[in-house]
Amino acid sequence: MPVIGIGTDLVHVPSFAEQLALPGTGFAGVFTSGERRDAADRPASLAARWAAKEAFVKAWSASLHGSAPVMGDEALAQVEVVRDAWDRPRLRLFGEVARHLSGVEAHVSLSHDADYASAYVVLSVE
C-alpha cells in the first residue's frame, strides 16, 4: 500500500484539560459520543484523540502538497477514533472527509504518558 501522507501531533494534557473545561469550548462539537465514551472523559485519552484528529489533518495536507486544501477545521469533527475488540485504535472517516478520501486507508497510533499525549497517522491507498 503506497503511503500518501504522514502526520503527527503532540498535546500537553494539562493545557488541553484546561481548555476542555472552559464554558463554551469548541471541543464539545469535535468529539463523537463514542469517543467520549471510549475515553471515559479522561483528559489524557481525549487529548490523544485530539492529537489523532490533528495528525490526520496534517497527513491529509501532506498528501495534497502543491494543491489547495479541501476542507478547514470542520474536517476534525468528521474523523472519529474508534477501537476494535482488543482496544486497538482506528480512524473512521465520515461525511465530506470520507467522500474526499474514498479508497484511502487511515492508520493511527496513539500514546499518552504523564503530561503528554501523541498520535501518528499514516494515509495509504488501497
For the chain, domain boundaries? 3-21+29-125
Confidence of residue 70 (pLDDT cuts 50, 70, 90): low
What's the pTM? 0.91
So what's the pLDDT on residue 4?
Answer: 93
Cell of 86: 482488543
So what's the pLDDT on residue 64?
Answer: 84
DSSP H/E element including 80: strand 79-83
CA distances from residue 121 to 6, 17, 24, 99, 106 in whole angstroms, order as listed: 6, 23, 29, 19, 7
Q: Is 38 annotated as a binding residue?
A: no
Helices 13-21 & 43-63 angle (0-180, nearest 10): 100
- Residue for cell digits 498520535? 119
Q: Regarding predicted confidence, which is higher, 112 or 28?
A: 112
Q: Regarding predicted confidence, which is higher, 29 or 113?
A: 113
- Interval 65-86 mean pLDDT: 84
So what's the pLDDT on residue 57?
Answer: 92
What average pLDDT is seen over the chain?
Answer: 91
Confidence of residue 72 (pLDDT cuts 50, 70, 90): low
- Name the CATH code of domain 3-21+29-125 (choices 3.40.50.1970, 3.40.630.30, 3.90.470.20, 3.90.420.10): 3.90.470.20
Q: Is 73 annotated as a binding residue?
A: no
Confidence of residue 74 (pLDDT cuts 50, 70, 90): confident
